[in-house]
């Protein structure tokens, strides 16, 4: 499999990143190991998680995903074969309101390293910008961690376009580490915000984009077409907003193209993302080996310009 260079880092990553939010939520540790083994066994090497996944599950403390990955790393002993990305500054249990502060970041990185059972994190991302902490303070925390060898590169997820630009400019002005990646929400259903507000910044600064909700919480797989279908999984409530004329138009286009290419709607939806010049490695999850097939097959599907245009038109905003 041909790897992709992540922004201006020296990280070579697979064209799909596995979203680790399912570890400790819809997957127990044994099944998580099976999924990671199959993912890595197919030639993929990029796993994304966060220090608070999955805090929303009753009884969890928010570190279950990192612990699962850490236990897998310890058991398999192939740390140098995978790229581990995690995030700091999330929401939920034990999270600070000033989650971008230097104090919070310096405390949380050690917790993540302990749970991941590793002495370094390949990509450390700010999960949610608190819009209070000066951007230079946040970047200086990352600078200390890079100098200490605890993290290698930095990225950011939920941040306003203005604060993103401010952060990039501050890095240049004060000789601080620069964000190399952006993790926005982006898929066929959610295009406008990224394409109009963030993509110009991404292209100008050569940021590596690893977008989340690549399959719109499963809506783009085509399994949700009626309100009754929303009961099929724990994520059904998250896709009700797409149950409209535009959403059905997108699903119809995906279904038609998937028939032409003898594949699935999920594969086509991911392949569409991989055709976007600004997208490096979409994040997607799987809770079974059959679902994992979509992630594995997507980079192999080369959509022609006609298929891409039809999907663009169906999802026009």
Cα torsion for 312, 282, 104, 75, to the nearest 10°?
160
Q: Max Cα separation, the chain?
A: 55
Helix 305-314 vs helix 245-260: angle between axes, to the nearest 10 degrees? 160
Catalytic residue among 53, 198, 212, 213: 53
> Is 128 noted as a catalytic residue in this protein?
no
Helix 102-116 vs helix 64-76: angle between axes, to the nearest 10 degrees? 40
> Exposure of 209 by Cβ count < 10 A (0-12 exposed, 13-18 middle, 19+ buried)?
buried
- Which helix (H) or strand (E) element contains residue 84? strand 83-88
Sign of CA dihedral 154, 158, 161, 162: negative
Give the three-state DSSP class for 170: helix
Task: State the catalytic residues.
Answer: 53
């Amino acid at each position: 499999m041909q790897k992709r260079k992540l922004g201006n880092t020296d990280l070579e990553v697979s064209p799909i990143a596995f979203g680790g939010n399912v570890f400790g939520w819809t997957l127990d540790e044994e099944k998580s190991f099976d999924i990671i083994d199959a993912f890595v066994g197919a030639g993929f090497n990029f796993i994304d998680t966060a220090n608070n996944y999955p805090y929303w599950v009753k009884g969890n403390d928010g570190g279950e995903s990192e612990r699962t990955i850490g236990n897998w790393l310890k058991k398999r002993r192939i740390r140098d074969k995978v790229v581990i990305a995690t995030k700091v500054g999330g929401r939920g249990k034990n999270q600070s309101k000033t989650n971008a502060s230097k104090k919070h970041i310096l405390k949380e990185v050690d917790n993540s390293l302990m749970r991941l059972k590793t002495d370094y994190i390949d990509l450390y991302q700010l999960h949610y910008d608190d819009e209070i902490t000066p951007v230079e303070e946040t970047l200086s925390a990352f600078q200390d961690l890079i100098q200490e060898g605890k993290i290698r590169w930095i990225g950011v997820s939920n941040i306003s376009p203005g604060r993103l630009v401010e952060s990039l400019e501050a890095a240049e002005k004060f000789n601080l580490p620069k964000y190399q990646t952006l993790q926005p929400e982006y898929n066929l259903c959610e295009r406008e915000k990224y394409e109009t507000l963030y993509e110009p910044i991404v292209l100008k600064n050569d940021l590596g984009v690893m977008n989340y909700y690549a399959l719109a919480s499963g809506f783009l797989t085509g399994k949700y077409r009626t309100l009754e279908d929303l009961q099929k999984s724990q994520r059904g409530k998250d896709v009700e907003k797409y149950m409209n004329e535009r959403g059905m138009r997108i699903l119809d286009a995906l279904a038609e193209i998937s028939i032409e290419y003898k594949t699935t709607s999920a594969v086509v939806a991911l392949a569409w993302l991989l055709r976007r010049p600004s997208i490096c490695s979409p994040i997607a999850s799987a809770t079974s080996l059959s679902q994992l097939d979509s992630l594995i097959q997507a980079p192999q599907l080369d959509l022609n310009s006609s298929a891409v245009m039809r999907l663009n038109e169906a999802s026009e905003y």
